Amino acid sequence: MSRKRDFMNRELPPWLNAILVFGTLVTVVYMEMRRPLRKERQDKVVRDTRNLFMSITTAATIALTEKPVTAPLSRAVEQHRFGLLKLRPLPPWAEIILSVALLDYTLYMWHYLTHKVPFLWRFHLAHHVDLDLDASTALRFHAGEMLLSVPWRGAQVALLGISPFSLALWQTITLMEIMFHHSNVRLPYGVERRLCRAIVTPRMHGIHHSAIREETDSNWSTIFSWPDYLHGTARLNVPQDKITIGVTAYQDPRELTVGKVMKLPFTSGRPSWITPDGRTAHREALPAPVTSLAPEEAA
């Protein structure tokens, strides 16, 4: 038992974490250049610079506010055997798998809340107003959203009984997966049609970033796609070449400078899903079943 505790109290080696994260980033960026899924609407240099700045503020906020809470909390959970996963002795492999699955599921719940609770949406809006979708979008969140998520992350660790190793592994897998499913990579249709049954894919998450609210209110999963299938929120039948990325009310690039995006939580008083001339974006009914992945017309 002490050997198991020693193992579960460890975190991933920094060198391994760096290889996994940066290896994923380099791979998806390379694939975006070789096989893009969607046409870009904005100047890539300007947009990537903005997203890089926001990702730095995101990372700094996590390091300064989340890490000091979750790291000691996970160690205390492991030491005192507290939380759901500590109610019964489990083999390390089983506890790790359950930890990742439950953390992913409760992240689905948090993601849902960031869309449905108006105060939280004001901060999450900064992520969705990006007019293009690629790996850089995965790293741009408002620092305020990261700060607001700290109590939720602490509750995840404490109530579920998450060990330091399981937490570190989940964080790394989550970062790798969000870079993948935000990416502008055109996977072979047959491959992605099967893959999206297990994990979130670029076409699946592209629908979540649609400027049509009914489409954005779907596909809230992060790593595994089963929470969306479980709750009936999976939507796959929208072709990528029919999607306008972004938020209905914020389609003007002049409103999306770094300064204005960072101020959005405090200035976004207008309805997000109504155009400046008062229209609500909608789409005609699509013939394919909702959970059937739609190919693009040009594919």
Q: Mean pLDDT of successive 10-residue segments in the chain (299 residues)?
A: 71 92 97 96 92 96 96 94 93 96 98 97 97 96 97 98 97 98 97 97 98 96 98 96 95 93 87 87 84 82
Tokens linked to 125 = 């809006």
**Residue listed under structure tokens 């809230």:** 220
Give the list of residues 6+ apart from residue 39 with CB closer than 8 angstroms, or none.
Answer: none
pLDDT of residue 24: 97
CB atoms within 10 A of CB 164: 22
**Residue listed under structure tokens 């994990």:** 199
What are the residue boundaries of the structural domains of the chain, listed by start?
2-267
Rounded distance between C-alpha atoms, residue 82 and residue 164, angstroms: 13
This prediction has a pTM of: 0.95
pLDDT of residue 93: 93
First and final C-alpha spacing in the chain: 54
pLDDT of residue 298: 59
pLDDT of residue 195: 98
Q: Is 232 exposed, middle or buried (0-12, 13-18, 19+ CB in 10 A)?
A: exposed
Which pairs with CB-CB distance under 8 Å and at least 24 residues apart come from 253-262? 253/42, 253/131, 256/50, 256/129, 256/130, 256/131, 257/50, 258/50, 258/53, 258/54, 261/50, 261/54, 261/126, 261/129, 261/142, 262/54, 262/126, 262/142
pLDDT of residue 5: 67
